[in-house]
Structure 1
Amino acid sequence: MKKLQFIAVAVLFALQLSAQQKEEIYNLQTETGELKGSLLLPESDQKLPVVLMISGSGPTDRNGNNAMMQNNSLKMLAEGLCKNSIASLRYDKRGVGESKGVMVSEADLRFEHYIQDVKEWITKLQKDSRFSEVIVLGHSEGSTIGMIAIQDLKVAKYISVAGPGFAAGDIIRKQLKAQPPFVLQQAEPILTKLEKGEMVEDTPAFLAALFRASVQPYMISWMKYDPSVEIAKLSCPVLLVQGTTDLQVKVEDAEALAKANPKAKKLIVEGMNHVLKEAEADRMKNFQTYNNPELPLKAGLLKGIVEFVKE
């Protein structure tokens, strides 16, 4: 009997929750196809702020997942915002998830493709009469994309979550320092040339995956942007969110962004990693959280973002 009562309560709670929020398909037509998105709406008779979420690098989908990991970080963040009367739009970027067919060839892809997509999403949301204002939130590489995209558009606020504070070339150099010294020695002249906007014809075989000819145009387009330079161009309120146990982006990145934009607010979340979950600094234990969709968001993250949005 008690078990049946528990099930009835659970069903009732689920029905109440679904009545308080609505997720609808929200797509964007681009020159190369339709980007697929999910708009999560709280139940309200009033206009609401809406947060556009931009996922990180690689094949990361609207929920913060890819084929190798499922953590639902961005989905959880959207649901948390919804419970606080904040709408959100998250989407599969070109080449990922349901937007896979929108991708251009690797040789034709540029960093600006992602920037332009964000601009068009913002324009669509600004024309939607259900929303009072548009806030942009970029996670990881999405942080850099977002801060560039909004420079020519009037958005209410900007939120960088685990956003790099240094240019792509320097990020790659830091990553290669973890390899035997000869790896960076061989890569350095290639990076220098790409940073100058020049293609490299001959690369060592062991670096071919990183510097293959078809990906070099994209790398050149990516390397010309320095996040610390770009964030200084923003006039809207800015929130910089960074976890202390993030293995991919460090607190020093947030500090670099804050130095470039002194008016920005910082939210340093103790014990939060790159997928916004509680994690130890230990590398193996940290990465275990990347594939745990049941693990909740780190406490303090949602509260800080909600407070910033509602200020």
Structure 2
Amino acid sequence: MKRVFVSVFFVLVAMIMNAQDIAGHWGGTLNIQGVKLRLVFHVSRSGDSWTTKMDSPDQGAKGIPTGKTEYADSVLTITAPALGMKFSGKWQGADRIQGTFMQSGLTLPLELTRVDGEVALSRPQEPKPPYPYRVEEVTFENTKAGLTLAGTLTLPEKGDHYPVVVLISGSGPQNRDEEMLGHKPFLVLADYLTRQGIGVLRFDDRGVGQSTGNFETATTLDFADDVEAAVRFLKNDRNVRNIGLIGHSEGGMVAPLVASRSGDVSFIVLLAGPGLRGDHILLEQQKEMGRVTGATAGELDYLAAVNRRCFDIVLSSASSREAEPLLKAYMDSLAQTGKLPVNMKDERGAELWRRQVLSPWMYFFVKYDPVPVLRDVKCPVLALNGSRDLQVLPENLGIIKKGLEAGRNRSVTVKELPGLNHLFQTCESGSPALYGTIEETFSPVALKEIGDWIKGKGF
């Protein structure tokens, strides 16, 4: 009897230890058509229940909540309905779980092993102190909007007469480094230019980081006011003679706006700046994004037709309030007949899309045509685009060039850089889903083009 009791005791101990062993940090790598994407599952236990949070380091995502976590018969199952994701794997002993990852119809093998928790990203271009230049934390006021903007000013160690550029971020709330997906492109760009003898001011968007204000209610015009405040700060407070603007993506819309109405801007650099009206930019973007994610030609054509109708309602309206009932009626008719496109899926998806289109930023963006403003830009302009950019296609360069030359701008340089995506990373595919998987933050070729052009102008 004693022997049976001891055997049962050790079986129970083994079961408890097995359950305890599964808690912790588990990392693995998906291979998606040759592209490697790391995942980390943080599994924890409370009583008889399990919970999991997930990181996708290469996509800059941390602490993603999942739905249900189960561990029974040495099988770990993690589901995340909001992501359409499921992982199921069997404990192999020696801190290894062999399983399968499923998401959106895709099924891939995934082996998990224990990791320390945080998975370090390889970002070899990211500079580390000490820096061979001066670094100052600064603030300046946008008195028109009643807000304070906070940023970092980097200045060459020697000399007094050098140009200073203001970096202008792309769409969405961005900090001063334009940080996304584990990359800090503006930090890399600022470091490179300052080492080349060019000062740089980069700042947190309104409502982001240490800057005050409300980002959600702002449009491109508001961001232009913020940049004008930066120019005034450099001109009046810091006595800078030659001030330039470098705008990325939406920042490439802001820079011409500021340059067209400020005599204090000596030059501008447009990085993947739009030349087409906003609705055309979005339609092209949706088409290319759908193509790389495997949507069929029929799905893409129908999505384009639906979005074209939505944008036409916006274009013909005098305000978002006027457009709202018309958009709702159109989307309701699609939902009732079961004809919502794949990106909306259901009535809730349609409602989210309608809200997005009617948001202050997108309503303005859809209607905004950059060309009339480009005609008013008289200072030297460098416009760059990557050949693999799927968000602002390189064809925009020709439109930018024509717009500037129509206004008799005599100093226009336009270049399409081979093999670069929207973030100016060297890539095989321009898909945004892969931005975080690329170690390079900013192509050295693009950095040199920018630095050489500014220095070549003798500012």
Give TM class, smaller chain. 0.7 to 0.9
- State the shift of 1:296 in Å: 4.9
Partner of 1:159: 269
Correspondent of 2:419 among 268, 271, 284: 271
TM-superposition CA deviations, 1:179-230 (whole Å, max 9, x none): 6243333333321121233422243233322321794443333334212332
Partner of 1:8: none
Q: Whole-Å Cα distance in 1 between the matches of residues 148 and 394 of structure 2?
A: 36
Q: 1:6 is matched with which residue?
A: none
1:60 aligns with 2:200: no
1:290 aligns with 2:412: no
Q: Is 1:191 matched with 2:314?
A: no
Superposed CA RMSD: 2.4
Letter matched to residue 182 of structure 1: Y
* Amino acid aligned to 1:48: Y
Q: Which is worse superposed, 188-197 or 271-280?
A: 188-197
Long gaps (5+) in structure 2: 1-127, 332-346
Q: If each structure's helix is expressed as a fraction of its own residues, which one has the higher value? A: 1
Aligned to 1:223: 366
> What is the CA–CA distance in structure 2 between the aligned matches of 1:93 and 1:230, rounded to whole Å?
23
Q: Distance in 1 between matches of 2:351 and 2:281?
A: 18
More RCO (CA 8 Å, sep 6+): 1
Residues 1:86 and 2:86 are matched in the alignment: no
Number of residue pairs aligned between Structure 1 and Structure 2: 288
Give 1:38-53 correspondences, 5 Å limit: 38-53=152-167
Tell whether 2:218 aligns with 1:73.
no
Structure 1 residue matching 2:260: 3-state secondary structure: helix
Structure ranking higher in strand proportion = 2
Q: In the aligned structure 1, how far is the partner of 2:384 from the partner of 2:430? A: 21
Distance 1:137 1:213 in 2: 27
Aligned to 2:123: none
Aligned partners of 2:430 and 2:306: how far apart in 1? 30
Q: Is the counterpart of residue 21 in structure 1 residue 133 in structure 2?
A: yes
Counterpart residue identity of residue 195, structure 1: L
On the 8 A contact 2:314/2:367 being kept in 1, the answer is: no
Would the alpha carbon gap of residues 161 and 174 (structure 1) be closer, same or farther in structure 2, given more than 3 Å must change? same
Tell me the TM-score normalized by structure 1: 0.84
Identity between Structure 1 and Structure 2 (%): 26
Deviation at 1:114, TM superposition (A): 0.9
Q: Which runs of 5+ in 1 are unaligned?
A: 1-13
What CA distance in whole angstroms lies between the structure 2 residues aligned with 1:282 and 1:291?
12
CA 244–45 in structure 1, closer or farther in 2 if over 3 Å, else same = same
Which runs of 4 or more aligned residues in structure 1 lie more than 4 Å from their structure 2 counterparts after TM superposition? none
Q: Which one has a bigger Cα radius of gyration? A: 2
- Hey, what does 1:5 align to over in structure 2? none
Cα pair distance change 1:247/1:290, threshold 3 Å: farther
User: Counterparts of 1:124-273 in structure 2 under 5 Å?
Assistant: 124-154=233-263, 155-177=265-287, 178=290, 180=299, 181-196=301-316, 197-198=318-319, 199-201=323-325, 202-203=327-328, 204=331, 205=347, 206-212=349-355, 215-262=358-405, 263=410, 264-273=412-421
Q: Counterpart amino acid of 2:383?
A: L
Whether the 8 Å contact between 2:285 and 2:391 is mirrored in structure 1 is no
Which is worse superposed, 148-157 or 204-213? 204-213
| 215 and 39 in structure 1: CA distance in 2 versus 1, 3 angstrom threshold | farther
Q: In the aligned structure 2, how far is the partner of 1:239 from the partner of 1:40? A: 22
Q: Structure 2 counterpart of 1:134, which letter? A: I
